[in-house]
Chain A
Amino acid sequence: MKAYLELVCPAGTPAALRAAVDAGADAVYCGFQDCTNARNYPGLNFDRHELKSGIAYAHARGCRVFVAVNTFARAGDFGPWQRAVDDAAALGADAIIVADLGVLDYAARTYPKLRLHLSVQAAAASAFAIRFYRETFGISRVILPRVLAVEEIAALIGQTDIEAEVFAFGSLGTMVEGRCYLSSYITGRSPSMDGVCAPAEHVSYQEEGNCLVSRLGEVVINRFGPHEPAAYPTPCKGRYLVHGRPIYLFEEPIGLNVIPLLAELKAAGVTALKIEGRQRSRAYVSKIVGTFRAILDSLAQGKPLPAEAAELAGVAEGGRETFGAYARGWR
């Protein structure tokens, strides 16, 4: 059966990698236990031995492994990024996901046969940018920023004729990836430089009366009423007092789910769907990947969407789902 769209799934731990492979992922993406990837949370990610075992497990089952080396290298300290590229190549990764120009240049020169995927952190949202990355570094695929409408994606793919991967499900960043400094402003650490948005050591939740209050450092991010769904303490989805009224300034806690748009995305020329969530559990990975596998297989056979498609809302942040910029463009 010809794949409808390639399914690229998250793995924050070796257990999650096995769960994703077993649930039917076409490819799994993961990172090392350091600042070189954009999900650098305590206890998450792979050491070199775990990655070697994980790649062997995935390859034995026909699944590819992409290694994210997608933060921006610190000035005067290129070592961790160089080692990450070297080790990913040596361990047999099928591709590395990169954003930094220096890391791209190093990888392209040193490992010309290693596939390079341009990370969403590079925020390449124009044909000029994508062509530049392809012509200069030979990237094989671009992971498009979550700021584009479906018709904009179709136009970009038409103009660049490159493999495009788009986010299909999971937590939704409302800022332009790779250029957001809200977390850095509050905590001194950011996803782009340190691999963490709202780093855990700065996060606290407290019960105050019958409310749950989330803080990032000293900043109150949200105050949830007794029956209100809770959310991550990310600054872009905070509820702030504006003229004395608590409102969501940028975006409400909500999760991305493009299941109803899959046919449009395929028609737009998209190659692969990315499931967000390396910080989520193996139970989450298993459920989401299994559901998407069933959906993509049904669509490939021209069948209607299976019943599982309706069961994912409960796992979304805030208990609600959106098409994000795909339907309305970026605001």
Chain B
Amino acid sequence: MAEAEFPVLLVSNALALLPAPILERGIGLLLAVLARKHPRLFRTLAAHPPCAIGIEPIDLPHRFVLRYGGGFPSLIPTGTLDQPLNARVKGKLESLVGLLEGRLDSDTLFFSREIVITGDTETVLSLRNALERDSVDLFATAMALFGPASGLVQHAALALERRLVKTRRRLMAWHEALHAARREEASVAARCARLEAQLQEANARLAKLEARLRRRDLARDLS
């Protein structure tokens, strides 16, 4: 199957909708296919001392716990990450998948704070370096789960992703236009407030002048 861009919008929307047990089942199948395609990676993970890494995609309702070392690895969706963990990795789903696939440079994302890594650095570094050695294509692997229909599903998924991207761009343009209108509204309101203040000041000065005139007229009448 030809390499294709990971459809991050489609996947993040789909993952947000899936209940945890179904997600867990899907991830289990995905790991089984990955293990067949990347035996060296899975041998490296199995040889590591047992560890648990919390994965926190900030744009998803799910959190995940990745456990490996001493056996077949697991990636379990969870609501919170309050269990004992060796390390945590936090960032947008797009960044996390880009790291997993080796398309993005982890240090660059770390410097810019697009991902945050806390806890045992050695564990995360070992995992990063193990992933670096294998070119994991998560999307192609997920598509392989659909068997003979994988080509069709991939085509449909990418078409849907393009639509989602277009829709998001349109929504962002509307959002920006709305903000621009609000900014304009705000500037009109500020101008009105300034004019109102000037008017009040002019009224006060006029009142003072009128009072002075009245006092002068009164003085003239009395004299």
Point out residues on A near B: beta carbons under 8 Å.
Answer: 12-16, 41-44, 200-201, 203-207, 212, 224, 227-231, 279-284, 287, 314-319
Contacts and interface: CB of A to CB of B under 8 A. Distances in A.
B111 A12 contact: no
B24 interface: no
The winner among B44, B105, B120, B127 for most chain A CB atoms within 10 A is: B105
A15 B106 contact: no
A42 B122 contact: yes
Nearest to B107: A280
A316 B108 CA distance: 7
Nearest to A228: B113
Nearest to A281: B105
B125 A42 contact: yes
B11 to A, nearest CB: 20
Nearest to B113: A230
A200 B107 contact: no
A282 B102 contact: yes
Could you tell me the dominant secondary structure of chain A's interface residues? mixed
Given A205-B119, A280-B105, A283-B102, A13 B135 contact: no
Contacts of A203: 121-122
Contacts, number: 95
Nearest to B88: A207
The winner among B44, B108, B126 for most chain A CB atoms within 10 A is: B108
B102 A15 contact: yes
B146 interface: no
Contacts of A14: 133
Contacts of A206: 118-119
Contact of A204 (B106, B112, B116, B120): B120
Given A15-B135, A43-B128, A212 B104 contact: no
B122 to A, nearest CB: 4
B133 A13 contact: yes
B37 interface: no
Contacts of A315: 105, 107-108, 111
A205 B118 contact: yes
B106 to A, nearest CB: 6
B198 interface: no
A282 B121 contact: no
A283 to B, nearest CB: 4
Contacts of A212: 113, 116, 118
Q: What 3 pairs between A and B have smallest CB-CB spacing?
A: A43-B129, A200-B122, A203-B121
Contacts of B103: 283
A13 B44 CA distance: 14
Given A15-B135, A230-B111, A205 B121 contact: yes
A42 B102 contact: no
A25 to B, nearest CB: 17
